[in-house]
Amino acid sequence: MWMARALVVGTIASCALVADASAAATKTTTSSKKKTASKKSAKKTATRTTSKKTKSKKRRTRARRKVATAKSHKVLVPSTPSVTTSSHHGDGRVRYGRDNMPPGFAWPPTKQMLAGIKACEATLSAAELPFEPAPPLGLLADPIYVPSMEIAGIAYTPAYGKTKPALDCQLARVLVAIGPQLYALGVRGVHYGSIYRNTNVRVHGQTKNILSRHALGLAMDIKAFVDQNGRILDVELEYLKGDPLLHAIEDTINKSTDFRIVLTPGNDPLSHYNHFHIEASVDYTGF
Ligand SMILES: [Zn+2]
């Protein structure tokens, strides 16, 4: 649809340019006295046309550059930690800079990040959550598998397909941390959409030029929750009707400084109308 509209606009613009050129040509043949003036006018028109062409060429180049940036992510991942663009709020929440990366995040992982990875794995071991290393994947600082995908008494099952998902240790860590609270609310199951996805942030129907936490294995899209009675609460069908459990889950996650604000059909009806997007809040500067 967007392409079709762009084509129509492009066609209209081209037609206008042709009309200008033919009007200029008519003027030059009417009188010899007017020739000089017409020449000047034609020159001006030509200059304007060239300048328009240059501008549109520049626009096209910029657009191409944007696409290349979004695809390669090259300019978006700092090779040195982005501590200068991130800091903390008074309540311990991480405040993100313009690049939206976790504080201290760099690629390849720094010594400080490796220390963070070690600490994360120690937390999983202390919680007696069995996990194993997963092959390198995207920008996951510590890709792991949780073979059981049962965390704190909650069964995480894929909503689509049966692929064993790799996730970053930090996402597993925050799911361990929030688990008892979700369990106390009555949550027994989570049907998730995707965890790792090499993608940019998409909110309010627009794709931003910043990396999504999915690209770091720190985010999970949730299609539905299952309660202690086996009731499946589909986010798309139940959230806007005001289902109390879904809203309690949202409030609980939002109160935790381990997570960033949950995206829901309530705060992003365009891009999150059918799922909750939850993501771990990670700070690598503390190690
Ligand atoms: Zn998401």
Q: What is the pLDDT of residue 139?
A: 93
From 17, 49, 70, give the residue that closes a domain: 70
Q: Is the pLDDT of residue 211 over 80?
A: yes
Same domain (yes/no): 10, 127: no
Q: Of the given ranges (195-199, 221-225, 270-274, 277-281), which has the lowest mean pLDDT?
A: 195-199
From 40, 70, 100, give the residue that closes a domain: 70
Please name the residues in contact with 85: beta carbons below 8 A apart, sequence gap of 6 or more.
96, 97, 98, 99, 101
Q: Is the pLDDT of residue 170 over 60?
A: yes
Our count of domains for the chain comes to 2
**Residue 27 CA to ligand 1 centre (angstroms):** 60
The Cα 281–Cα 99 span in angstroms is: 15
> Residues of the chain with pLDDT > 90: what percent?
54
- What are 201's strand-pairing partners? none
The Cα 182–Cα 252 span in angstroms is: 8
**Residue 220 CA to ligand 1 centre (angstroms):** 6
> What are the angstrom distances between the C-alpha of 87 and each of 95, 98, 262?
5, 12, 20
Q: What is the pLDDT of residue 81?
A: 62
**Residue 246 CA to ligand 1 centre (angstroms):** 17
**Residue 211 CA to ligand 1 centre (angstroms):** 11
25 pLDDT band, cuts 50/70/90, is very low
Q: What is the pLDDT of residue 210?
A: 84
Q: Is the pLDDT of residue 206 over 60?
A: yes
Q: Which residue segment(s) compose the domain that 38 sits in?
A: 2-70
Tokens standing for 1? 């649809």
Q: What is the pLDDT of residue 125?
A: 98
The Cα 123–Cα 126 span in angstroms is: 5
Q: What is the pLDDT of residue 151?
A: 97
From 46, 70, 94, give the residue that closes a domain: 70
**Residue 145 CA to ligand 1 centre (angstroms):** 19
| Segment 25-32 mean pLDDT | 34
Which residue, 116, 119, 166, 111, is CA-closest to 144?
Answer: 166
Sheet of 132-133, strand order: 132-133, 143-145, 167-168
pLDDT tens, 31-59?
334 444 444 444 444 444 445 455 555 55
The Cα 226–Cα 155 span in angstroms is: 9
Please check whether residue 88 lies inside any domain of the structure.
no
Please name the residues in contact with 243: beta carbons below 8 A apart, sequence gap of 6 or more.
233
Supply the pTM of this predicted model.
Answer: 0.72
Helix axes 33-72, 2-30, angle to 10 degrees: 160
Please check whether residue 103 lies inside any domain of the structure.
no
82 pLDDT band, cuts 50/70/90, is low
Same domain (yes/no): 57, 141: no
Q: What is the pLDDT of residue 209?
A: 83
**Residue 200 CA to ligand 1 centre (angstroms):** 10
Same domain (yes/no): 266, 168: yes
**Residue 51 CA to ligand 1 centre (angstroms):** 43
Q: What is the pLDDT of residue 5?
A: 34
| Segment 170-192 mean pLDDT | 98
**Residue 13 CA to ligand 1 centre (angstroms):** 39
Please check whether residue 120 lies inside any domain of the structure.
yes
Tokens standing for 49? 């046309």
| Segment 172-197 mean pLDDT | 97
Same domain (yes/no): 270, 132: yes
